[in-house]
Structure 1
């Protein structure tokens, strides 16, 4: 049930006591007519006086969106016994997020467990202060930047932590994301080449996701074909559609270029690698951890 976003805080009690009482009565009628609210009131054993005194709590309940990320319930504070709103994650909504907003789910680095508050809290408790500083610095810069992002640095420096936090933020805003390990993506595509339409669908999802996150980019001439056939067309498309890409690696772009081209003999393949590196370099903000 909606309350047309009227708030009691808009009314000055000192100057509009009569109006305030009328508004309270209006909302009390709304509350009394809502069976779900009545069920909660019955379970809490709330008196009419207590309901009136805590009417803003119940208005918050009435204002909840039907498809909100969180379900709202009313509980008592264990210390003060006061009524308050508690946000509870909707399991249904998490499954909808996984189905609708996470592309390439078979190799995704996100799962339903990763979308829970308890997982996030425990995950963040396990990392050290240096990683927290790196993640904090990235979070200040990356989301507000209009450019792509290339992050490189040693293992356990915060790249994965940041990508997970960024992914949670993306899907919570109902934006689609591909979040994959680079070699997982290469293997998925390799195994799909002989399957009708599957390889094409993978490329489409890489092109169309609102955000593309590729973790642990590995430098090897064994993947030069993948860069030429898949990544360069994906980058071209995402440039045209102004869609963001985030890449992490142990190596700098210059190191990646050298390792990719060292054993290549065909000039055309070398040019494709250089095109890929130049695109990342020109369109990305680069962070070293």
Structure 2
């Protein structure tokens, strides 16, 4: 099965190199498990004009051929990009047409992380389910409102278009491909050999609040800072409105427009984020953390925490703690 990777300026090299290595390892495990030397996966890298490409991390990538000269393939893969792909770049129209042509031939197309922006530029995702890097979900919705974006998902597949979440979800894409076009046994062997969690299916536990401040409403930024500094107290939303000198009704509407969340929802997110940091960096008990973030009932905290992360506080600590001993 031929896997064709698109390389373009600003792409994340690991999205290509990591999967090329992963398929090479899958070929070795396939030979070991089946006793047959024929490798199930072949890889090639293409670029506009076959030119060398400089990745976002300044690594030079040497394509196999030009994308316009590449023959038919079995699978097209689009890597992540930093910064986001530029829809007005001179090469974008050619790349867009190349992707559309492969999709019309029923070739599966997978886009990783912010590479989903490039796939969405083709219009192929309109009305389709997709995911992308959770940090850029709001920007994606603004640019592509016709796409059914599910940022909580790690991987989506709709009509032969596969999308993944943030950068290293390419590992899970690789396992998905190996399972689909190789076998479950081969995918399991690769997951174990490469220390990949095959059951990772959500980006939700990784969400952070940092991207909620990407707007230019000064008063709402003030309100966000006020909530972030006073979350452990019994904050009343009308009190925040008074702090920024706006009527409560207008404040609630304006806050949601700026951040995408109602003020009370944002306060919950701030408290959950504070709890995450405590779970990651301290050994404080759940009851202590509950009181610290402004709740009195730990059962309420546990319920809200699971609602926002798909994990219990204990599961989250086990997964993300930075203070666990190395043995």
Superposition TM-score tier, normalisation by shorter sequence: under 0.3
Higher relative contact order (CA 8 A, sep 6+): 1
TM-score with structure 2 length normalisation? 0.24
Specify which structure has the higher proportion of helix.
1
Decide which structure has the larger Cα Rg and report it.
Answer: 1
